[in-house]
């Protein structure tokens, strides 16, 4: 009996958070904090879906009828959300909901409905920190499931189709996915993303970079996207400023200009402050870090509370001293991790 294993990286946005939803370009990079999914049939268990979600310390069993029924419930909730009758944070309310969405993105094959399927999911990514954990989980599950249920499991998957499916399913969590997260996670490396044209790969170069965890944001990505849309319409001048910073950052990146890159990281961060998604409690420690390198908040940020999720720091020396002072964890990171990797093995 074959087992399928898929690994997906995490991601960081170097420039363009929020702005990418307003048809501005963004620069993004895959990082080496992998999410792993494995799938195989369990001949000893009753037919249905058996889940082991290690990071949530959650195990569950659902009959296939329950999986199909839950999908219908989630579809109804999403319809209500689109009509403005249900908030984004009340769409997915069970740990298994994201799994259900991924496995039912296409009709369940009849051959599966009579069998027990064991799905295990684990991740080294920092959940809820703007690192694309939902996109990584979705892509890994979609790739694993489509490989697992394919007539010919050795046939390569259509990555563009996977990206489109993951983008659609991300809407259940974020309200309006740009497609950036699934694009860079599926392809890996470094790239420039535009909604109209997708991801254009860029060359990478060695950098000293660290992730800094300021804590879990009090507001979700969907909350932040909604609040930014309330404050700034599509014609606001700030989107032109984001575009200019992204262009200058790309130029610095391609010319391997470290000082220029650090300058544009700091400029991008200031624009995020202007959007109102950087908690004021982060102002002073970020200013300390900016005296030694380039620092920016990565991800949607937060419109409430004191924590903002993850910062990216690029500099010659470790930010550990400032992080220790704040009680933050930091982690050296590789900025050009490979994309989706799928393996079919015999049990």
Question: Is it the case that residue 244 has pLDDT exceeding 80?
Answer: yes
Q: Is the pLDDT of residue 65 over 70?
A: yes
Helix (H, G, I), strand (E, B) or coil at 39: strand
pLDDT, mean of residues 79-95? 92
Q: Which fold has domain 209-333?
A: Alpha-Beta Plaits (3.30.70)
Spatial separation of the C-alpha atoms in residues 310 and 32, rounded to whole Å? 15
Question: Which sequence spans correspond to the domains of the chain?
Answer: 2-202+336-346, 209-333
Whether the per-residue pLDDT at 336 is higher than 70: the answer is: yes
User: Per residue in 264-321, pLDDT tens?
Assistant: 999 999 999 999 999 999 999 999 999 999 999 998 899 999 999 999 999 999 999 9
R_g over Cα of the chain: 20
What is the rounded CA–CA span in Å between residue 213 and residue 149? 38
Q: What is the C-alpha separation between 250 and 127, in angstroms, rounded?
A: 28
Average pLDDT over residues 170-194: 90
To the nearest 10°, report the CA torsion of 12, 15, 20, 24: -150
Run of H or E including 37: strand 26-41
The fraction of the chain above a pLDDT of 70, given in percent, is: 98
**Banded model confidence at residue 246, pLDDT cuts 50, 70, 90:** very high
- Other beta carbons less than 10 A from residue 158's beta carbon: 11
pLDDT at 83 over 70: yes
Fold of 2-202+336-346: Ribosomal Protein S5; domain 2 (3.30.230)
State residue 151's pLDDT score. Answer: 64
pLDDT digits (tens, 9 = 90+) for 5-33: 999 999 999 999 899 889 999 999 999 99
| pLDDT above 70 (res 1) | no
Quick check: 45 and 11 in contact, CB under 8 A?
no
Could you give the percent of the chain with pLDDT greater than 90? 77
pLDDT for the residue 150: 83
| Residue 80: predicted pLDDT | 95
Q: Give pLDDT tens digits for 201-222.
A: 999 999 999 999 999 999 988 7
Higher pLDDT, 111 or 215: 215
Res 347 pLDDT > 90:
no
Residues contacting residue 67 through CB under 8 Å, at least 6 positions apart: 48, 49, 100, 103, 104, 108
Given this model, what pLDDT does residue 176 score? 73
pLDDT score of 63: 96
Least confident of 37-46, 161-170, 171-180, 230-239: 171-180
What is the model's pTM?
0.88
Residue of higher predicted confidence among 253 and 126: 253
Per-residue pLDDT, averaged over 146-169, amounts to: 86
pLDDT surpassing 60 at residue 101:
yes
DSSP secondary structure letter of residue 188: B
């Amino acid at each position: 009996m074959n087992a399928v294993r898929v690994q997906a990286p995490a991601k960081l946005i170097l420039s363009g958070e929020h702005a990418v939803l307003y048809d501005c370009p963004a620069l993004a990079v895959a990082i080496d904090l992998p999410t792993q999914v494995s799938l195989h049939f369990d001949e000893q268990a009753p037919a249905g879906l058996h889940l082991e979600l290690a990071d949530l310390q959650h195990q569950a069993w659902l009959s296939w009828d329950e999986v199909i029924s839950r999908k219908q419930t989630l579809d109804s909730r999403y319809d209500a959300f689109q009509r403005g009758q249900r908030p984004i944070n009340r769409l997915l309310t069970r740990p298994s909901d994201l799994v259900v969405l991924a496995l039912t993105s296409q009709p369940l094959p009849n051959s599966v409905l009579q069998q027990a399927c064991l799905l295990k999911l684990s991740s080294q990514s920092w959940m809820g920190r703007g690192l694309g954990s939902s996109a990584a989980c979705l892509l890994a599950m979609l790739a694993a499931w489509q490989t697992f249920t394919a007539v010919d499991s050795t046939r390569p998957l259509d990555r563009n189709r996977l990206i489109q499916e993951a983008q659609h399913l991300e809407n259940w969590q974020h309200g309006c996915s740009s497609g950036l997260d699934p694009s860079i996670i599926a392809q890996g490396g470094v790239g420039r993303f535009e909604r109209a044209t997708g991801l254009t790969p860029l060359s990478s170069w060695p950098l000293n970079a660290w992730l800094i965890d300021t804590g879990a944001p009090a507001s979700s990505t969907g909350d932040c996207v909604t609040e930014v849309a309330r404050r700034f319409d599509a014609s606001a001048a700030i989107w032109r400023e984001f575009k200019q910073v992204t262009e200058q950052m790309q130029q610095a990146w391609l010319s391997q200009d470290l000082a220029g890159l650090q300058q544009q990281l700091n400029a991008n961060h200031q624009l995020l402050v202007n959007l109102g998604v950087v908690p004021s409690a982060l102002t002073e420690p970020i200013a300390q870090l900016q005296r030694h390198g380039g620092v920016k908040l990565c991800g949607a940020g937060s419109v409430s509370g004191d924590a903002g999720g993850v910062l990216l720091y690029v500099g010659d020396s470790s930010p550990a001293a400032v992080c220790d002072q704040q009680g933050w964890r930091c982690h050296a990171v590789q900025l050009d991790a490979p994309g989706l990797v799928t393996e079919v093995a015999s049990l």
